[in-house]
Homo-oligomer: A and B are copies of this chain.
Amino acid sequence: MKLKISKKDLSKHISIVQKAISTRTTMQILEGILLKAKDNILTLIASDTEITIKTSVSALVLEEGEIVINSRLFGDIIRKLPDETIDIEVASTNMNIKCLNSEFNIQCQVSDEFPDLPRIDEIVNVSIKAFDFKEAIRKTSFAVSFDETRVAFTGVLMDIKEDEINFVALDGFRLALKKLRTQTNQSISSIIPARSLNELIKIIENEEAIDITIGNNSIRFNLDNTVFYTTLLSGEFFKYEGLIRENHSTIVQIDKNKFQNALERASLLAKEDKANLVKLNVGESEIEITSNSEIGNVEEFVDSEVEGEELKIAFNSKYLLEGIKIIESEKIILNFTDSINPCIIQEDEDEDYIYLVLPVRLAN
């Protein structure tokens, strides 16, 4: 293998595949990046067995070849080289790296043991606008469970229907749902590990659309120069649609920032107790937020437009706040039924996003 490549290009593509490198792998070969040079393309592949990333970059390939090099060391070296052309030459398992006045020789591994790319038994293929996809993941993936005993809930459900795709995450205390209206003419649902999705959205850049191929056990996302694979989670997902009521007895429109700031202040005292408890008293034209702990109490008032009945309800402030923080609109809508049914939070301008949070039942 022998090639010339720009430092900036190589450095960027190393960072992309490094998203699939685990620091806790027990397989030494997976601490490495598989490099393949051919037809003036350098391909980089890395995998932690759950996530696999393959990315390609132009290079002047003078001699074809394949080799596996330690990811951390290779990345550190390339990033610290000057912004010039780098010469790479592999002889047997030695990689020689030259750039201006720097020369490295690094011991590599042969590529034979490196795992193959996941085989996708293609079932369904859909295309989603990159912007919509990133937003859907950002607005749902934070709500997954971290409880590894219920592994299906550590993922985001991608529920593909004929004319919409629902992204859903929940953990037993709250649920986040983002609906994308798009004609798919398909029907399939898959549970994608939240960790994988969070890595994936970091490497989406200027893509217009993402091509998604869904198999039985794995899913593939095609970006412009990068292919991202992840295993799917098995298990039954929650029947989320039954949870979302359409009729509400109290509907509140409130300034997002004012409500968030007041809740954050109130939760300073709520945090002192384990329950993180904040109480909302929804009045005619304002919400009163109260919280108390051994060390003191707090009372906050936030102006709001209230339609319907007055209501007292209590929440774990953490779950309420996480949903409000993710919203970008100036105003938000809070939909209540009563003090024991979930509150549904929506953006003022976007009815396709729903954040549902369960209240805490108070003794009397």
Contacts and interface: CB of A to CB of B under 8 A. Distances in A.
A49 interface: no
Interface stretch (A260-268, A326-334, A355-363): A260-268
Interface string A273-302: 000000000000000000000111111111
A80 interface: yes
A234 interface: no
Interface stretch (A70-78, A135-143, A144-152, A222-230): A70-78
Contact of A298 (B82, B104, B265): B104
Contacts of A81: 265
Interface in A62-95: 70, 73, 76-77, 80-82, 94-95
Given A73-B268, A101-B301, A302-B101, A106 B295 contact: yes
A268 B102 contact: no
A105 interface: yes
A207 interface: no
Given A76-B268, A80-B268, A268-B80, A101 B295 contact: no
A15 interface: no
A298 B304 CA distance: 66
A25 interface: no
A216 interface: no
A95 B81 CA distance: 58
Nearest to A290: B103
Contacts of A300: 101-103
B297 A80 contact: no
Contacts of A103: 298-300
Nearest to A295: B107
Q: Lowest 10 CB-CB distances: which A-B pairs, in order?
A: A106-B296, A101-B301, A104-B298, A80-B265, A103-B299, A107-B295, A105-B296, A76-B268, A105-B297, A102-B300
